[in-house]
Amino acid sequence: MSEYFQIDDPSFEDFVDIQRPPEQLCTGLSWTEGPVWFQETGTLLFSDIPNCRMMQWSAEDGTSEYLCPSEFTNGHYRDLDGHLVSCEHGGRRVIRRYDDGRVEVIADSYNGVRLNSPNDLIVKSDGSIWFTDPPYGINSDVEGYKGEREYGGCYVFRAAPGSGELSVVANDFDKPNGLAFSPGEDVLYIADSGAIEGGTNPAFDDDAPHHIRAFDVVDGCSLANGRVFVDLAPGVPDGFRVDTEGFVWTSAADGVHCYSAAGDLYGKILLPEVVSNLTFGGLDGTTMFITATSSVYAVATTRKDATSRRSYPARSYGQAMRGAGEF
């Protein structure tokens, strides 16, 4: 047993470098989220939501502000062309940001009314964009602008490649949050963080969802056979990632939990702050960057993201082109 790692299955010792404690890359922020890695510049971009800004970090230059105001961006991802796609609480929309700063709206309404506050998103190998739409950005002025749920629910949407046409892939969540596909994209995992109301309400409702559900992906564009994959404690699952072997690495109140595709807990990365999200990156894609409340941490692993075989055209987001330093 290590101070920094909890080993529940012996093979977890091969997944992380248990001799190397998590490294705090920066701190003093408010609520970090949405980490996304740019290999070509060795840069991590992420959100600092209540401060309405995006930050950048590199081994060489440390941490600095990237964009402010950011319209309360939350989750980020890269599309198949390497462009940055982002969930915006403030704009209540999902956008694509081009290298020259131009912004294209991918989705901002459903059935003629505004979305709630898109939270997190992923890009499937066919270019479709899947995102969740809980109310965390409209239930107070802390992480966005207080407003109404105009279509009444909190859905999970798919924006079709090209047309961007929205379809509802799940409508029975309390507060859908992080999401990720299995390596073969035959299973979609979606977090429900309904136990946390968010905004100015610190209450935790243990009777409300704090789990990740799994769905079978049908014809690449819809979902079936929803079932609870893991009931998470302590805290709620927010953002998470799946590695090339199908292990699910999820945020939790005490760090990052690693579950097999069968739902067995293999181990934990223990952190002193509540974790919101994570991504794989670094020189060879095995560094896990973890956004956790006021900080960002890096953990050396032997794993890579399930999408790590994707290669993107170089984009000029973040810092000027440079090596990724020690990572």
- What distance in Å separates the CA atoms of residue 134 and residue 139, rounded to the nearest whole number? 10
To Mg ion, the closest distance from the beta carbon of 178 in angstroms equals 5
Task: For Mg ion, give the closer residue by CB, 119 or 139.
Answer: 119
Strands (E), 108-210: 109-110, 113-114, 121-123, 129-132, 156-159, 166-170, 176-181, 187-192, 196-198, 201-204
Task: For Mg ion, give the closer residue by CB, 4 or 130.
Answer: 130
To Mg ion, the closest distance from the beta carbon of 17 in angstroms equals 27
Task: For Mg ion, give the closer residue by CB, 238 or 243.
Answer: 238
- What distance in Å separates the CA atoms of residue 21 and residue 104, rounded to the nearest whole number? 40
To Mg ion, the closest distance from the beta carbon of 132 in angstroms equals 8
Binding site for Mg ion (CB under 5 A): 119-120, 177, 238-239
- What distance in Å separates the CA atoms of residue 116 and residue 194, rounded to the nearest whole number? 15
Torsion of Cα atoms, 220 then 224 then 229 then 235, to 10° = 90
- What distance in Å separates the CA atoms of residue 190 and residue 179, rounded to the nearest whole number? 4
Task: For Mg ion, give the closer residue by CB, 22 or 239.
Answer: 239
Identify any residues that bridge with 44 across adjacent strands, giving them in sequence order.
Answer: 37, 57
Q: In this structure, what DSSP letter does residue 243 have?
A: B
Residue of 194, 195, 234, 188 whose CA lies nearest to 213: 188
To Mg ion, the closest distance from the beta carbon of 239 in angstroms equals 5
Task: For Mg ion, give the closer residue by CB, 95 or 324.
Answer: 95
Task: For Mg ion, give the closer residue by CB, 119 or 286.
Answer: 119
To Mg ion, the closest distance from the beta carbon of 256 in angstroms equals 14
